[in-house]
Amino acid sequence: TAGPYVGRRRQMRELDALVSPDPAARAHVMAVVGAPGVGKTALAKHWAHARREHFEDGQLFVDLRGHSPLPTLRP
């Protein structure tokens, strides 16, 4: 079982700011970037799960394996 998610309030607020109540102003694609191992995937997954009510049609998460020993996937 994973422990509690802590220490990313600022980043969570930054992502929240991209989800406008106005569909015309809403971000359609979000990218979380940073060095390997800093918690990008954990942040993206935690935020998406916590804010799932904003995405009635669902969410899509794609791991392009940029920092994996496996071949990088092309979008």
CA dihedral of 55, 29, 9, 7, whole degrees rounded to 10:
110
- What pLDDT, in 10s, does the model give residues 23-38? 777 777 888 888 888 8
Into how many domains does the chain fold? 1
Average pLDDT over residues 61-65: 76
Determine if the pTM surpasses 0.95. no
Per-residue pLDDT, 74: 72
Please report the pLDDT score of residue 10 as a whole number.
92
Most confident of the following: 13-22, 41-50, 62-71: 41-50
pLDDT at 1 over 70: no
CB of 40 closer than 8 Å to CB of 49: no
The 8-class DSSP code of residue 21 comes to S
- Which domain covers residue 60, as residue numbers? 1-75
